[in-house]
Amino acid sequence: MNDIIQLLARKARKHPGKTLLQAAVIAAGALAFSTGLALSGSISELERETYRYRISVANGSTDEAGRFEYTRPGIFTKEILEHLVDESGYLTKTAAVNEAHWPAVKVGDSRFSIRSVMAAEADYASIMGLVIESGRNYTADESTQGSRLVMLSTSVAESLFGSADLAIGSYIESERGMMMTRTGQGQTRQSRLATERFEVIGVYRDPPELARTALGIPDAIIPFGADRPPGLPAQAASQIRTFVAETDGTAPETLKLKLAGSLETLGIVDAELETWEGDPATPNTGAAAEARKVIASLSGAIAGLGILVLVASVFGIYSGTSMEAAANRKGTAVRRALGESAAGTVFRFASENAGFGVAAALAGAVLSIPAYQALAGAAETILAGAGMSQGGIFPDWPPSWAPVAAVLMTALACALFSLPPALGASRAGIVEGIQEL
């Protein structure tokens, strides 16, 4: 190590301007590689966290035109879902889901609109990876009983109540459905929206916009049994047409076959099923698969660009090492005469350039952190302006492994580019070295 440091110091003293310029170029390459790798890694991680192990299942079939039709009556019951989790091994959690329709909600005397509401069993939040920031999730018993409870996303809680903490314990009145009444001697029919009162018991963190869109994560979640019409007894829970599941990583098509086999053991033969990644309200959709392809292409393109910039920045090592080997041919010959092997000569050149690359790459890796933050912030702003995101696509800090990988890859690239001239230098004749001595 000391020899390498001394060689680098001697090189810097001999050609300070050239050495500084080359170090700056390599640092820029390491910066581009680290930043590209961090952006690519953040996008890939988001894609994995968004889709991994989350599958939607619906009881129905798709016709020739691609339209999905639910099977009525459905085959799924709470007992069957529990059996699949206990016995299958490929399903670890399930939660029946159903879209709820709230045309408007009231908080005190004010009326608001909520973009989407989902009736779901208690494990839904866990399957979707939702983080409870205040309050709690409802229990399985509360879901079965149809308790009038609701969990809100942070943004909705702040809009309705000012903060997540103020939302807990407050009430929302929802208006939905039609209630018929008769008044007067003529028995005139009148209708009005039925009003229900829900207590806010939890607030969950807003998911990244990609997850919200791809998985259909709503702004409000109520117990699965709470979506039945007012007055319907708790025993008459909503029919299970669709459920979401946490799996062991089984692909949707394979999962479909496994589910069919498991259902046959329960006496349900030729079950019509669709399994897919994505929003449970849109069966048989290919949007998630297409989104994954786009994300993978974008991630690969960013990483590829970083690699190209790094390679271009390090290419100067080849010409620099060639000139250095030619200028120091006599010195190399003397070393050979004093016992340095050909492999030792190659190692000396390669290690010197690798050490030089590490020193330059460290500066680039440090600078890549603010560069990543600036580019990520700009990308978030552009996507938000286009209405494609509300933020949260990129984390505030790059993955820690990205700068480390940039330093290692720069060192490796510098060593590899120095090999051809180093191999040439290793052929310096021992006789020539003895003559010099």
Same-domain status, 164 and 241: yes
In a domain, 25, yes or no: yes
Which one has a higher pLDDT value, 165 or 8?
165
Read off the pLDDT band of 18 (50, 70, 90): low
What is the count of structural domains for the chain? 2
Do 337 and 434 form a contact (C-beta atoms < 8 A)?
yes
Same-domain status, 247 and 316: no
What per-residue confidence (pLDDT) applies to 361? 87
In a domain, 285, yes or no: no
In a domain, 61, yes or no: no
What per-residue confidence (pLDDT) applies to 134? 94
Same-domain status, 225 and 360: no
Same-domain status, 113 and 210: yes
Same-domain status, 267 and 300: no
Could you give the CA distance from residue 322 to residue 420 in angstroms, rounded to a whole number?
8
Q: What string of DSSP letters covers 377-407?
A: HHHHHHHHHTTS--S-SS-SS--THHHHHHH
Q: Please state whether beta strands 54-62 and 273-276 pair in parallel, antiparallel, or not at all (unpaired).
A: antiparallel
Read off the pLDDT band of 208 (50, 70, 90): confident
Q: What string of DSSP letters covers 269-305?
A: -S--EEEESS-TTSTT--HHHHHHHHHHHHHHHHHHH
Same-domain status, 110 and 228: yes
Boundary residue ending a domain (242, 271, 300): 271
Q: What string of DSSP letters covers 52-116?
A: TTEEEEEEEEE-TTS-EEE-SS-SB-HHHHHHHHHH-SSEEEEEEEEEE--SEEEETTEEE--S-
Same-domain status, 140 and 257: yes
Best CA proximity match to 320, nearest among 6, 11, 106: 11
Residue range 214-271, pLDDT digits in tens? 788 999 999 998 887 665 654 445 578 999 999 988 888 899 999 999 999 989 988 8
Could you give the CA distance from residue 345 to residue 328 in angstroms, rounded to a whole number?
12
Same-domain status, 102 and 199: yes
Six token digits for residue 359: 């020193």
In a domain, 394, yes or no: yes
In a domain, 63, yes or no: no
Q: Residue 228, Cβ neighbours under 10 Å: how many?
A: 17
Residue range 355-367, pLDDT digits in tens? 888 888 898 889 8
Six token digits for residue 188: 């005139």
Same-domain status, 244 and 369: no
Same-domain status, 192 and 83: yes
Within 8 A by CB and 6+ apart from 294, the residues are: none
In a domain, 279, yes or no: no
Six token digits for residue 390: 């509300």
Boundary residue ending a domain (271, 303, 333): 271
In a domain, 140, yes or no: yes
What per-residue confidence (pLDDT) applies to 13? 55
Indicate if the pLDDT at residue 294 is higher than 80.
Answer: no
Count helices and strands (H / E) in the chain. Answer: 16, 13
Same-domain status, 201 and 321: no
Range of the domain at 142: 72-271
Could you give the CA distance from residue 160 to residue 138 in angstroms, rounded to a whole number?
20
- Sign of the C-alpha dihedral, residues 149, 152, 156, 159? positive
Residue 106, phi then psi, degrees to nearest 5: -120, 135
**Which regions of 160-272 does DSSP assign to beta strands (E)?**
171-183, 188-204, 220-223, 242-247
Best CA proximity match to 95, nearest among 45, 61, 37, 55: 55
Residue range 88-131, pLDDT digits in tens? 889 999 999 998 888 888 898 888 888 899 999 999 999 998 99
Best CA proximity match to 406, nearest among 416, 414, 395: 414
Same-domain status, 362 and 258: no
Boundary residue ending a domain (237, 271, 305): 271
In a domain, 276, yes or no: no
Q: Whole-model pTM?
A: 0.66
